């Protein structure tokens, strides 16, 4: 066959890898990843390197004009990432709400990328669409949400909350809203506790209500929404001509893991004909525990619910999930059917086209990694891991409380907050709040850069606190001891350095 003829039947594009080449590159990469997983407990949590140093390692290279060997690229990329990352899979990582990733999820993402179904339309992704639907049902079953619900996977908690927010907004406004926008609407208002995650500001802004539509309801001692204040605010707003449309309850606030009085909010919304959305981005999976508090289990009453498989279901980033009791609400909020889609009409049932249920059009197969992990450990595996995370968090609270220089402040779900207080400042009262805040801010900076352990922070009653959130199936009691040891060591040293400087400054003034 001439070259010209063989090009007709087999085009050799520069980006192609045939099966044998893929096998070789892939095995080499899998070996690197397997070694990484075996070493993740021993590595420093982070290198603490500066942005300049990281760019130096990467090299300020120009766009390559021509290509290079695929195996070399894969191994280069592995070295760059494996040697210069923060490892949230390390057992001593307890920052923010970022979990260790289930290794099976990495394989799920690889398989999803290889087959590459477009889960926007059923005909483009027959098995993937059905697996995503099953994943949605399984997540609902796991946390006790009605399994007749609808839902879909999105990129994370923000997007999941946005979808719930939009479903609620369209449910509580006339159908003409989609055409006429907000112009001819009374001004809509939404009700959230002061502890609500910043997604609500993005939603109010992006979807045209404006952030002044947010009513920030005060919280009680336990950082839960104050129901009386909520009721009063709704009355006041109705009198003033606003249209209250939605209450957002938290199933685990981002700062301290507080759970709002969800059953009371549900009843309130029923009576007031308002939409009840629950932000369970962090805490919803804990509703799977039989011993979960009644308020957490009341998330089943929400009209819509956001949760984050990439948090407490240990999925690799990204995977968020929104569940809606009445699937028609998603169609009402999102469906347009353009003429350039002609999907197969011959089925006896109308198949699900996810592009009609949410914001995305083309959609990747995020569900696969979640589905594979659900199958790997089952309900009992998740219950065990989440329960252990919660127990460890309580243990940390007690260890901190038993340490003279540390003050334990809150413990909810798997979040414990605390701070370093030099023993001689223990009873010195209000005078020291500024100094203690500065000291603990400094401690956090040093601890985070040091790489021994990783915690983040919360601010409660104007106090700057250290915060450990355990959504990490690798963490053990030994890692908690390390947190206490490191914070005390760094705290002592920083206090010895900062306090004389402070005293000098006050003398000068
Ligand atoms: C993390 C979190 C979010 C945002 O989720 P992302 O996945 O980061 O987009 C929203 N609400 C709560 C309570 C969260 O914990």
Residue from 158, 195, 251, 252 whose mutation best tests the ligand 1 pocket (most atoms within 8 A of CB): 158
Distance separating alpha carbons of residues 375 and 397, to the nearest angstrom? 33
Distance separating alpha carbons of residues 365 and 154, to the nearest angstrom? 10
Structure tokens that stand for 93 in this block: 């990582």
pLDDT given at position 407 = 96
Structure tokens that stand for 256 in this block: 């301290």
Q: Are 173 and 181 in contact (CB under 8 A)?
A: no
The DSSP output letter for 93 is B
pLDDT level of residue 248 (50, 70, 90 thresholds):
very high
Residue nearest to atom 4 of ligand 1 (CA): 157
Counting residues of the chain whose pLDDT is more than 90, the rounded percentage is 87
What are 221-246's pLDDT values in tens digits?
999 999 999 999 999 999 999 999 99
pTM of the model: 0.95
pLDDT given at position 509 = 47
> Is residue 419 scored above 80 in pLDDT?
yes
> Is residue 502 scored above 60 in pLDDT?
yes
Which residue do the tokens 């948090």 mark?
311
Residue from 153, 258, 281, 414 whose mutation best tests the ligand 1 pocket (most atoms within 8 A of CB): 281
Distances (CA, A) of 111 to 115, 117, 321, 387: 6, 10, 20, 30
Counting residues of the chain whose pLDDT is more than 70, the rounded percentage is 95
pLDDT given at position 60 = 83
What are 153-198's pLDDT values in tens digits?
999 999 999 999 999 999 999 888 888 998 888 999 999 999 999 9
pLDDT level of residue 506 (50, 70, 90 thresholds):
low
Name beta bridge partners: 259: 251
Residue nearest to atom 5 of ligand 1 (CA): 157
> Is residue 300 scored above 80 in pLDDT?
yes
Distance 318 CA to ligand 1 centre (A): 12
252: left (phi over 0), alpha (psi -120 to 50) or beta: left
Which residue do the tokens 């203690």 mark?
436
- What b-and-e string marks burial along 291-302, b requiring 16 or more CB atoms within 10 Å of the CB? ebeebbbbbbbb
Mean pLDDT for 273-294 is 98
Main-chain dihedrals φ then ψ at residue 67, nearest 5 degrees? -85, 180
Among 320, 253, 256, 264, residue whose Cα is nearest residue 295:
264
Q: Which atom of ligand 1 is nearest to the CA of 320?
A: 7
What are 424-450's pLDDT values in tens digits?
888 766 668 899 999 999 999 999 999
Q: What is the dihedral of CA 358, 359, 360, 364, to 10 degrees?
A: -50
Distance separating alpha carbons of residues 57 and 74, to the nearest angstrom? 16
Residues in the chain: 509
**DSSP string across 29-61:** HHHHHHHHHHHTTTS-S-----HHHHHHHH--P
Mean pLDDT for 137-164 is 98
What stretch of H or E contains 412?
strand 406-412
Residue nearest to atom 12 of ligand 1 (CA): 281
Distance separating alpha carbons of residues 5 and 414, to the nearest angstrom? 65
Average pLDDT of the residues of the chain: 94
> Is residue 345 scored above 80 in pLDDT?
no
Distance separating alpha carbons of residues 445 and 456, to the nearest angstrom? 9
Q: Which residues line ligand 1 (CB under 6 A)?
A: 97, 156-158, 161, 197, 199, 254, 279, 281-282, 308, 320
Residue from 198, 224, 282, 412 whose mutation best tests the ligand 1 pocket (most atoms within 8 A of CB): 282
What are 303-317's pLDDT values in tens digits?
999 999 999 999 999
Q: Which atom of ligand 1 is nearest to the CA of 250?
A: 13
């Amino acid at each position: 066959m001439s070259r010209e003829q063989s090009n007709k039947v087999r085009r050799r594009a520069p980006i192609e890898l045939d099966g044998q080449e893929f096998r070789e590159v892939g095995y080499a990469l899998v070996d690197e990843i397997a070694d990484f997983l075996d070493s993740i407990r021993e590595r420093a949590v982070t290198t603490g390197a500066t942005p300049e140093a990281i760019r130096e390692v990467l090299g300020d290279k120009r766009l390559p004009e021509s290509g290079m060997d695929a195996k070399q690229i894969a191994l280069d990329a592995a070295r760059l990432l494996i040697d210069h990352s923060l490892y949230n899979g390390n057992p001593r990582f307890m920052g923010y709400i970022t979990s260790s990733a289930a290794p099976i999820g990495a394989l799920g993402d690889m398989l999803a990328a290889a087959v590459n179904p477009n889960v926007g339309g059923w005909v483009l992704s027959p098995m993937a669409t059905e697996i995503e639907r099953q994943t949605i049902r399984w997540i609902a079953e796991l946390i006790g949400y009605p399994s007749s619900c609808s839902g879909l996977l999105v990129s994370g908690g923000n997007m999941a909350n946005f979808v719930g927010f939009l479903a609620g907004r369209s449910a509580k406004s006339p159908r003409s809203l989609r055409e006429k926008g907000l112009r001819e609407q009374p001004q809509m208002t939404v009700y959230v506790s002061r502890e609500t995650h910043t997604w609500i500001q993005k939603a109010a802004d992006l979807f045209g209500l404006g952030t002044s539509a947010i009513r920030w309801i005060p919280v009680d001692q336990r950082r839960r929404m104050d129901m009386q204040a909520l009721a009063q605010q709704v009355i006041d707003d109705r009198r003033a001509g606003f249209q209250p449309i939605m209450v957002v309850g938290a199933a685990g606030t981002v700062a301290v893991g507080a759970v709002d009085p969800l059953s009371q909010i549900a009843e309130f919304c029923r009576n007031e004909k308002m939409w009840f959305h629950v932000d369970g981005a962090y805490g919803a999976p804990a509703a799977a525990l039989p011993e979960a508090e009644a308020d957490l289990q009341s998330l089943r009453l929400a009209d819509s619910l956001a949760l984050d498989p990439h948090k407490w279901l240990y999925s690799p980033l990204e995977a968020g999930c929104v569940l809606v009791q009445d699937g028609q609400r998603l169609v009402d909020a999102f469906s347009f059917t353009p003429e350039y889609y002609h999907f197969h009409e011959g089925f006896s049932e109308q198949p699900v086209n996810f592009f009609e249920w949410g914001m995305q059009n083309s959609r990747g197969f995020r569900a696969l990694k979640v589905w594979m992990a659900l199958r790997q450990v089952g309900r009992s595996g998740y219950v065990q891991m989440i329960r252990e995370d919660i127990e460890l968090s309580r243990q940390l609270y007690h260890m901190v409380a038993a340490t003279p220089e540390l003050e334990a402040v809150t413990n909810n779900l798997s979040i414990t907050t605390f701070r370093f207080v030099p023993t001689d400042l223990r009873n010195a009262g209000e005078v020291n709040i500024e100094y203690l805040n500065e000291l603990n801010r400094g401690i956090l900076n040093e601890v985070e850069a040091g790489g021994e352990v990783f915690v983040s922070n919360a601010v409660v009653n104007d106090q700057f606190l250290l915060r450990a959130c355990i959504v990490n199936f690798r963490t053990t009691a030994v890692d908690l001891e390390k947190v206490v040891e490191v914070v005390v060591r760094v705290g002592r040293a920083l206090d010895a350095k900062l306090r004389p400087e402070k005293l000098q400054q006050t003398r000068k003034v």
